[in-house]
Structure 1
Amino acid sequence: MAISDLQLPSNVNTHTLADSTALAQNLATDVAARLDRAIERNGRACVVLSGGRSPVPFLERLAQQPLDWSKVTVSLADERWVPVEHDDSNANLLAKHLLQGAAAQATFIGLYQPAADLDSAAELADAALAELPPIDVLVLGMGDDGHTASLFPGSPNLAEGLARESARRCLPMLAPSVPHQRLSLTRALLASADFTALSIQGQGKLAALRAALDSDEQRMPIHAFLQDPLDIYWCP
């Protein structure tokens, strides 16, 4: 099955790449070009990225792009509520694979906050995100269960997290099937991005995307983002 076989909404563009190396390079080039245009237009740019292991090649190629990184703000779509030194920290992932060399000049706004509990941490992260400029580029991933960011099916705060309008920028979230409590940007903030890319690889993710098209946002939260303009980058 190819992504062209899916009945996607007309506002969804697809990019089929030969392999994961080509996907990482093409996505990095396209993201950098949009950030560069935002800098020319507004004097600054903002990109919100997703964590996990599959984005590592993309992050490393993005770090090599010839941008004026001093004018770029970087943040995360979600975070595990663990200290930034932890191996599972998305902030740690960006520090190792993106914020190196010239890219270290970027301003980073993280989500992790030490606090007495997850709710308090989310409130502190929400306040920190008040400094986030308008999002020029958002790069999402997707789990086999249809979650994106840390908007997991079955999480107690999912309905609030998926609301089109919300005063909250960040919410506490639970991933029912995996360890660690989470912090996630809300759909209201994520959907404000000027350009949104979804990066997925393999037949398994393609099957999950097909299921999401026939599902709803409560069962497969990625469904919510298929209703808005979106560019999907996929390789077999």
Structure 2
Amino acid sequence: MSFIENADRDMAIMNVAHAITSDLRKCLLQHETASFAVPGGTTPGPIFDAMSSVEIDWDRVHVMLTDERWVPEDHARSNAGLVKARLLTGRAAAAKFISFYRDGMSAEEATPTLSEALAGEVPISVLLLGMGVDMHTASLFPGAPGVAAAMARGAPLVCAVNPADQPEARITLSAPALDGAMDKHLVIFGDDKRAAFERAQSLPPTEAPISAVISGGTTHWAA
């Protein structure tokens, strides 16, 4: 695992966007398609902006979320809306978006269907992750109902979790699916998240889920 310290957040955004597009190009030289898993939240938006106009074979890129709130895609809390508005525009509009939400099904009911649908997309070609100060990543929240199953060695590709402090259930790629990605990038900003990331290195994955998925990856930090 490598750790890159950037001069500022703008520099980090540019460097991460460049690294990811380079990884996608490299993958497309060797494979017909590339899978690209991305988070929601506030951090990736500017990275998506920087990537959307880059000239690569976007029609061969399959974009999916690392996790999603179990709400329709037009809901204000849907991560899909962020991806469609900030990444799947310009040249990147040609990419294929793999939706998680299934109308009329609960998150738990949808997990077998989603795991089967994503079977052809793994190992994930390029993975972009964020991390909270509680050391969660994707929807792998420490101690949340469903997370132990999502972090188990034999977990399916997609799992449902139900964080007690969240208003809706979530769907998440499991820890094995995330950790199996070929190229992994974690982006964290601020001293508090850097301290949390460093603390995670000495904690078990049940307490620090990020530590279960970042082996062999690159962490990009800026104050």
| Residue 116 to residue 73, structure 1, CA distance change in 2 (3 Å) | closer
Q: Distance in 2 between matches of 1:117 and 1:46?
A: 25
CA RMSD of aligned residues (A): 1.4
Output aligned runs, 1:1-12, within 5 Å. 12=1
Note if contact 2:142-2:207 (Cα within 8 Å) is conserved in structure 1.
Answer: yes
Does structure 1 residue 190 correspond to structure 2 residue 181?
no
How far 1:43 moved relative to its partner?
2.7
User: What is the one-letter code of the residue matched to 1:184?
Assistant: T
Q: TM-score, normalised by structure 2?
A: 0.94
Residue matched to 2:196: 208
**Match for 1:55 among 14, 27, 44?**
44
109-118 or 150-159, which moves further after superposition? 109-118
Note if contact 2:145-2:163 (Cα within 8 Å) is conserved in structure 1.
Answer: no
Q: Which runs of 4+ in 1 moved over 4 A?
A: none
Output aligned runs, 1:1-236, within 5 Å. 12-166=1-155, 168-226=156-214, 228-236=215-223
Residue matched to 1:6: none
User: What is the one-letter code of the residue matched to 1:59?
Assistant: F
Q: TM-score, normalised by structure 1?
A: 0.89
User: What is the one-letter code of the residue matched to 1:231?
Assistant: T
How far 1:36 moved relative to its partner?
0.6
Q: Distance in 1 between matches of 2:39 and 2:102?
A: 18
216-225 or 115-124, which moves further after superposition? 115-124
* 1:127-183 per-position Cα deviation (integer Å, ceiling 9, x unaligned): 3223425311111111111111101111222222112333x1111112233332100
Note if contact 2:4-2:221 (Cα within 8 Å) is conserved in structure 1.
Answer: yes
Query: Secondary structure in 2 aligned to 1:103?
Result: helix
User: What is the one-letter code of the residue matched to 2:190?
Assistant: G
Note if contact 1:149-1:184 (Cα within 8 Å) is conserved in structure 2.
Answer: yes
Q: Distance in 1 between matches of 2:30 and 2:202?
A: 39
Query: Secondary structure in 1 aligned to 2:46?
Result: helix
Query: Secondary structure in 2 aligned to 1:70?
Result: helix
User: What is the one-letter code of the residue matched to 2:173?
Assistant: L
